[in-house]
Amino acid sequence: DHNVILISTLPNVSNKRKNPGTYLSKDAGKTWVKINKGNGQSDRINDIAIDNYTPDKFYVSTYGSGWYVTFKEEEL
């Protein structure tokens, strides 16, 4: 689906209001939902990928903590 965008944001030490993590948009970037809540290192994400065979499945890796798997929910 060309409307699905998956991004990772890093913290900005000069601005504490930032909310680092992995975000998903299903409407070509008009709205965003944070999808990596609870992985323990949302500010240390270094790679993200969409599963080629299961497009509702995402992989997120963090520095020193391995890979996490998340599934896109219909309400996102």
pLDDT digit of tens for each residue in the chain (76 aa)? 788 888 877 766 555 666 777 788 889 999 998 876 665 555 577 788 888 888 788 887 877 767 777 666 655 4
Q: Would you say residue 76 lies in a domain?
A: no
Q: What single letter denotes the amino acid at residue 9? A: T
Predicted local confidence at residue 9, as pLDDT: 77
Structural domain for 53, as ranges: 5-71
CA distance 71 to 22: 13
Q: Would you say residue 18 lies in a domain?
A: yes
Predicted local confidence at residue 48, as pLDDT: 82
The model carries a pTM of: 0.65
Q: Would you say residue 12 lies in a domain?
A: yes
Q: Would you say residue 64 lies in a domain?
A: yes
Residue 46 near residue 60, CB atoms below 8 Å: no
Q: Would you say residue 44 lies in a domain?
A: yes
Q: Would you say residue 11 lies in a domain?
A: yes
Total domains, the chain: 1
